[in-house]
Structure 1
């Protein structure tokens, strides 16, 4: 009798190995996935269960998703860099890879990430021209839960998501490309204390997965106004990579424009890291900043180091107007949007 559970387990594994499409959830007709929990997928991945029992345990006991999907920025056919590039490294020409990580934690354990090791991840993109979902490579995660998939065979348009699917449970993370020629005009914004009401809002969310950080009044409307005029939005935050999932969900749910989210390797001070990325965008890629938003002295320093004019540097919060920057008064972007952003020309 003691051996019965063993035989039942073997039977269960055999059944799983021999499953057919009839045994799987029905395909959805979705053309966009809501990450990290998209529900039934609109395509079939090569595998449908975790490869390791440890992963099944991790998935069942740690329900908070801590995935990372690395956005890529650069010039079409030229130099590019993803968010993992070292602060002191130069962008490189040639093919790049889509990178990321798959991990979980508890609902209150936002500071921690427990990696999925040796599990399959596949990349997917919906091609509107052919009205079909396309797979773009597959890899297994390493000891840190990271994956890397070569991107040389395809190019995705700016603003269109690429989804990294953890095949074991069908969860996903979004990643985006922003490929612009030299001379392109862009808008840059910090997140914490600039688009949220305070730096402490993230701390509240770290401790409680259900907590929704409060938004600075009019923050989403302000960036929507820039995006409506054709200006790409770039989010440059001192948050570490492990908060990419929280950042993406918050920006999406509060209806901020789609754009790359640059997070930190945590190998430099915030002003040094931001300076490195700003110079990468404006010197190596040749992009032109038309507005930069922040709240902290590190934002002011980084924007100045990168050569962003003071009359295009907009600071909200207690330091509003410091160091000859333009003040956003009363912790509210509404007036700025109505008087300044609305008066700017469309991006040609």
Structure 2
């Protein structure tokens, strides 16, 4: 199973560094507006085009030349989510090609961060035998407070992928949302995208409700049991449907079946967010696994919201036991997230 160095760092405390002064907002990227009871606003730093990474170099291994020619790049980053006082920030992800997700092993990648609307190269990392790269930033090299575009570029052919970095100020609160069946029109709508190329519709009012939460300085994080090879497709769908920008967590496994495996993945992913020093405000889902995962990370029942009626028979016993609150229209969540 592919794992995240950053996740291990947060949960296990391995290689995370000692105490360091918190990072602040870069004045060139905007000053927080003074904040609300939910905490200060955060700069959203974007770069329109991909970085000019330079000409393609040479692959370190001839076999990787062949791999790069076998099919399309499937690279993806693991969105950075951390607090301003974290001593180390890890920029990481996976480099692979073709529909079978063939890892690019032992090759160099350049990592870029968007700073004040311009791309800045922050370092070079080398992939391991699973195509995973990790670049640790510490001290003055850490990114300032804000949401920002990140980019990874393979030196050998200059294929690349965007991802996000979110460095949160003190007092940040997170709203966590599932995707499939919660935001998409049905639980299996994304399967139709994979098989038939049909883009799923969004639940009516879902984007508006989450945008209202974001407008109150709640930060959205999307946690889905989809395999992380669908990172870029998921991010694009959220953007196309007008959902607020936010980091994502997708399963490291190609397939995560409903039930215990899904609960374990979501519980671990959300626990890592808490371990990073970020408070959880609410959780939105549509299945019993969502109720269980949100409960296990400490969310109170009146902050767990379950979309109905697709899995009403499955979740009704939990609703009757007052372990969560059901809703049939996203209008009902106005002011609750």
Question: Is TM > 0.5 for Structure 1 vs Structure 2?
Answer: yes
| Aligned partners of 2:220 and 2:247 also within 8 Å | yes
Aligned to 1:147: 133
Rg (Cα) greater in structure: 1
Question: Cα offset for 1:172?
Answer: 2.5
Superposition RMSD on alpha carbons, in Å?
A: 2.8
- Cα distance change of structure 1 residues 211 and 269 upon mapping to structure 2, 3 Å threshold: same
What residue is the counterpart of 1:134 in the other structure?
Answer: 120
Cα deviation, residue 53, structure 1: 5.1
Change (3 A) 1:97 1:216: same
Match 2:287 to one of 288, 296, 318: 296
Q: Which residue of 1 aligns with 2:94?
A: 101
Matched, 1:62 2:71: yes
Number of equivalenced pairs: 277
Q: List alignment gaps of at least 5 residues for structure 2.
A: 1-45
Mean Cα deviation higher: 67-76 or 316-325: 316-325
1:205-284, aligned counterparts within 5 Å? 205-207=193-195, 210-266=197-253, 269-282=261-274, 284=275
Corresponding position of 1:165: 153
Maintained 8 Å contact 1:158/1:176: no
* 1:161–1:297 Cα change, 3 Å: same
Q: TM-score, normalised by structure 1?
A: 0.70
SS at match of 2:218: coil
Within 1, Cα distance between the matches of 2:270 and 2:162? 23
**Following TM superposition, by how much is the alpha carbon of 1:211 offset from its aligned partner in structure 2, in angstroms?**
3.4
Residue of 158, 170, 173 corresponding to 1:185: 173
Aligned to 2:326: 327
- SS of 1:215's equivalent in the other structure is coil
CA distance in 2, matches of 1:59, 1:160: 28
Q: Aligned to 1:243, what secondary structure does the other structure show?
A: helix
SS at match of 1:207: helix
TM-score, normalization by structure 2? 0.72
Residue 225 of structure 2 aligns to a residue whose secondary structure is: strand
Question: Equivalents in 1 of 2:289, 2:311: separation in Å?
Answer: 11
Q: 1:188 & 1:305 partners in 2: Cα distance? A: 14
Assess if the C-alpha contact under 8 Å between 1:182 and 1:285 holds in 2. no
Please give the per-residue CA displacement for 1:217-259, whole angstroms capped at 9, x wherever unaligned: 2222221221122210011112232222222222222232111
* C-alpha deviation, 1:102, in angstroms: 1.3
Distance 1:319 1:138 in 2: 46
- Alignment-derived partner of residue 9 in structure 2: none
The SS at the match of 1:160 is: strand
